[in-house]
Each structure stands twice: as C-alpha cells, then as structure tokens.
C-alpha cells in the first residue's frame, strides 16, 4: 500500500511538471480543459509564452518560479501575471544536442540569498560533460558562481546528459548524469556517466557513500546502471529517492 501511495504521488508531481512546460509554450492566457486516463478532469492555463526549451523550475517564493532554458537563459516567472524577469550571470553552457542549461533547484530550507544549484553541459577539451554548479542571486543577477563537480562523463555525443537535482533535507544532494549515449558507461564505476551522484551541499563526498572505499570506483556515485535519468524526487518521510528515465524504445522506466 505504501509503495502504491508514493507511486501515485510521484505521478502527480510529474504530471504537474510536464504540464508546466507544455502550457508555457501555448498562447498566453488560454485555458484548456483536459481529462486524464484515470478520468480526472483538470485545467491547463497558459501563463507565459515565447520561450525556447524550458528545462528546470523551482519555486523560490510562493509567487515566484525560477526557471532555466536549455539555451542558457534564466528567468523568474510570476505565475499570477505571466511576467518574466531575466537573470544574468549563469554558467557558460556547451549547447550541443540535448545539452545546455539543465536543472535548477534549491534546498528545502531556502531563503532569499541562499545558494541556488544548477546542472549544465560544460565544454571540456572539445567534448561535453555534465557539471553541477551553484550561485547566489543578488537582484537580477547571479553572483559567486562556482562549479562543485565537473563530472567524468566526457563524450563527443550530444546525448544523455541527464540531469535532475534532489535534496534529502539532511545536508545532501543527488544529481543524475546520463550514460552520454554510450551504454557500457552505466556499468563502469570509473566514470560518472550513467549514474546518480550524492554530495554534501558544499560539493564534498559523504563518508557513507556506497563506493567511497572501493578501489577503482568514483566516490561520488550513489547508484549506477542508469540510461538517462531526467526525473527525481526524494521522499523525506520514507527516506527514498525516486527516479525515472527514458527507455530505449520510448516511454519511461
């Protein structure tokens, strides 16, 4: 019963997440009535338009959504009015294939001026890697931007960067890295590709990570064998990390 309960919760969260990204690309102010497969009727109302590929979002206050676009742009959206304020100072992204500016997230106890966390694709010797960075917001710009981890996931492909961020509320964060389009990576503990990583909020490796003392394994790895995780949710009540990723034949798993 508990598993079913949290599966339903995860599905609801994913519905809301994908509904947001769909609705901001249709005509502003338009309200559309929809019915789910389960027969539940709901409304989708457009609150913004004219964006590229919106990728990550997080509420930084009850009436402000901080969001990223894959092309590297960052904005703050007021859902009530649809007004967007652009934020400068984000990371320099490598725009290739599925890469670019990816997720944005804040810890559960976030207040204005605290660290904001990003994942993005970074150029490294002509190849793309997934990186985790953080910055603080000062007015309409980001300051003190720093990389916490530039992963060992270099590939010339433009596929499967991941990436989502989740917090456990106990001083740790998780973020996902796709297999970079090279399937054997997901079974190789000497690369971050195809893994979910766990760090403390300053980017250090927790001593209780599962592979900290295993020779040849990267200590940041929490879970491996992943294709391209782009959805994560940490259930603090049950202390479980839920993740979803795209299957090779379509659909999620």
pLDDT in tens, 54-84: 999 999 999 999 999 999 999 999 999 999 9
Quick one: 109 and 31 in the same domain?
no
Task: Determine the distance from the C-alpha atom of residue 2 to the mean position of all C-alpha atoms in its chain, rounded to a whole number.
Answer: 26
Are 110 and 234 members of one domain?
Answer: yes
Residue 119: beta bridge partners? Answer: 132
Q: Which of 23-27, 56-60, 105-109, 217-221 has the lowest mean pLDDT?
A: 23-27
59 found inside a domain = no
User: Contact, 246 vs 230, CB < 8 A?
Assistant: yes
Per the structure, the complete domain to which residue 231 belongs is given by 87-245
Whether 61 is in a domain gets the answer no
**Binning pLDDT at 50, 70 and 90, where does residue 26 land?**
very low
Least confident of 35-39, 119-123, 208-212: 35-39
Radius of gyration of the chain from Cα atoms? Answer: 18
Reading the block at residue 89, the tokens are: 């100072």
Mean per-residue pLDDT of the chain: 89
Residue 121 has pLDDT above 90, yes or no: yes
Q: How many alpha carbons fall within 13 Å on the CB side of residue 153?
A: 38
Check if the beta carbon of residue 73 is closer than 8 Å to that of residue 86.
yes
Q: CA 48, CA 100: separation in Å to the nearest integer?
A: 21
Q: What is the pLDDT of residue 204?
A: 98
In a domain? residue 78:
no
20 confidence band (pLDDT: 50, 70, 90): low
- The pTM of this model reads 0.85
Confidence (pLDDT) at 213? 96
Alpha-carbon gap, residue 46 to 67, rounded angstroms: 16
Q: Rounded to whole angstroms, how far apart are CA atoms 116 and 136?
A: 6
Asked if pLDDT for residue 132 goes beyond 70, the answer is: yes
Count of domains observed in the chain: 2
The pairing of strands 141-150 and 127-138 is antiparallel
Grade residue 41 by pLDDT with cuts at 50, 70 and 90. Answer: confident
252 vs 89 pLDDT, higher one: 89
Query: Percent of the chain at pLDDT above 70?
Result: 85
Q: Is residue 251 part of a domain?
A: no
- Residue 186 is predicted with a pLDDT of 93
**Is residue 226 annotated as a catalytic residue, yes or no?**
no
Tell me if 180 sits within 8 A of 157, measured CB to CB: yes
Q: What whole-number distance in Å separates Cα of residue 15 and Cα of residue 28? A: 20
Q: How far apart are the first and last CA of the chain?
A: 20
Judge whether 149 lies within some domain. Answer: yes
Statement to judge: residues 129 and 235 lie in one domain: yes
Does residue 77 form part of some domain? Answer: no
Regarding whether 107 and 37 lie in a shared domain, the answer is no
Q: Which of 160, 172, 192, 226 is catalytic?
A: 160
């Amino acid at each position: 019963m508990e598993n079913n309960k949290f599966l339903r919760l995860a599905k609801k969260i994913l519905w809301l997440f994908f509904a947001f990204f769909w609705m901001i690309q249709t005509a502003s102010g338009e309200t559309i009535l929809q019915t789910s497969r389960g027969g539940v009727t709901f409304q989708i109302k457009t609150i913004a338009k004219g964006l590229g590929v919106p990728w990550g979002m997080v509420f930084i206050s009850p009436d402000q959504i901080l969001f990223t676009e894959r092309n590297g742009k960052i904005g703050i959206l007021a859902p009530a009015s649809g007004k967007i304020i652009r934020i400068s100072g984000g990371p320099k992204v490598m725009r290739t294939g599925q890469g670019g500016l990816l997720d944005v997230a804040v810890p559960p106890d976030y207040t204005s001026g605290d660290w904001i966390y990003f994942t993005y694709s970074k150029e490294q010797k002509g190849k793309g890697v997934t990186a985790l960075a953080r910055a603080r917001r000062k007015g309409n710009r980001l300051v003190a931007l720093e990389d916490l981890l530039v992963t060992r996931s270099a590939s010339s492909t433009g596929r499967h960067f991941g990436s989502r961020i989740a917090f456990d509320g106990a001083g740790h964060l998780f973020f996902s890295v796709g297999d970079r389009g090279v399937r054997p990576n997901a079974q190789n503990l000497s690369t971050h590709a195809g893994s979910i990583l766990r760090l403390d909020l300053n980017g250090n490796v927790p001593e209780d990570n599962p592979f900290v003392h295993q020779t040849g394994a990267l200590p940041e790895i929490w879970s491996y064998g992943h294709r391209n995780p782009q959805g994560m949710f940490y259930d603090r009540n049950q202390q479980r990390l839920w993740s979803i990723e795209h299957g090779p034949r379509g659909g999620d798993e």
